[in-house]
Structure 1
Amino acid sequence: MPATKIQSKPNEESTAKRSPLYVSPELRNLIGELMMPRIEMLRKVVSTRFVSEAQNVDDNETESDWWPDYSVYSHLHYMTEMNGLMHLTQNTLKGMTDELKAIGAKFQAFVVDHFKARQSAWKDEETQSLDEKKLLGRYLLAQSLIKDMVTFVNCCGRHCSKLLAQRNVYSERASETKDTEDRIRLKIFDERSFTQLHGRISSLKGFVQDFCDLFDSEREPSAVVDDQDATATAVAPASIIST
């Protein structure tokens, strides 16, 4: 399966260029209440580093079976090896899809209610102004972002479970045989798995942060959306996420 990529940096730049979308204080609080703790949990995974360690052999020892010669380190969370990182990743993602779905349901209800007064006038597209179409389009795009995040989180969870099952096989064999070839095979697998998990969770963290930054509950939205705003939201989330 090809590596999943989310281009979070361009999203951050485009988010900064456009005015935030108005949502009710209740919905904005729900997004913050559910997603801010998730961002902190994701940050713990992103803070990890794959560290090579120098072998420390006692001079009095004639034989040494020092292994492994690498570890996983985080200044935010105690861990020493890939098994811990994989379980941390699983715990971080656990329940996140349900939270996103809850936000999605509340968001959909808000959009319907918020634009209800204008819907009758919008039945005839000729009477719907271009600015109003753009504004509604931004809300609908935000709604699609929620669905994309659900898909991405599910994909990450399945991938992590698959890696953990594969690693258990490699780890058990290397521990049993103590063979250098088996240990090298496990190390290569760990390095590759670390790169994949770290990259995906880093992207997810940026994606969730960008999503949270889209909204504002302090002021009602203007019906005017300039061409720059429309351009910034023109990239469909499905084209950013590759699963």
Structure 2
Amino acid sequence: MTFLSAAIFSLGIFHMTNAAKLRCYRGSLDNYLTAPLDKPLTIANSSCIDKALPTVVYTFGYRGRVDGPATTAVLTAYLDTKKRNVILLDWEQEAKSGALGIALGYTLYAVPNAKKVGLELGESLVKLAKTGLNTTMVHLVGHSLGAHIMANAGKRARERGYVVSRITGLDPARALFEGSFAIQSGLDRTCAKFVDIVHSDPGGYGTSSSAGTVDIWPNYAGSGGTQPGCPNGDFEMFSADGKHYGYFLRIP
């Protein structure tokens, strides 16, 4: 760990919380069971988990919300199949920008929190695996900074002897993970048995490197640009970055 990364991680500790939780759905968005991230056994033997079915765990990125449009769309699509256990990693409190604003909040709060939450999720997956959940049927899906959360979860589970079947990264966050100021290791093909990455904003808010087992580049012609229908510099709406879930939901 470099001095810069150690300093950022240390500063981030002051904003770390233990608010992250798992939300396990019972067939619809308004019917779910919640458990603290570090105490997942509440859901292990509940009616929301069928250990014979595959399990998908989704999470959002920086400043994301449990009721945000991307979260709602992805969860609804999975619930509609009625063929998977569906779990949301809710780290909304840890993903906030805090009092320092968007840029500093990301650097000093959200990135350190994301690493902590990811490692805790990995430990939770191990606990669930010990109750009979088959990690070879677990699919982790994360958007932006959430993709790196899933990366850390996959790495931690592997360290404990359990390999996650698949991780999907939807525009993994670029800032502090790629380029001259990279201080964190993010999602790559070693984090799970299969890693697919959707790049709808490469070189912008999302990474531009081919780091997955498979990398998907919608509407990409080898240079920077915006997605169809997205204005340039639309920070608040994350327009090009916000295309990720639409493309993902079209993947068979």
Q: TM-score if structure 2 supplies the norm length?
A: 0.29
Name the one with the larger helix percent: 1
Structure with greater strand share of residues? 2
Greater relative CO (CA pairs within 8 A, separation 6+): 1
TM-score normalized with structure 1 length: 0.29
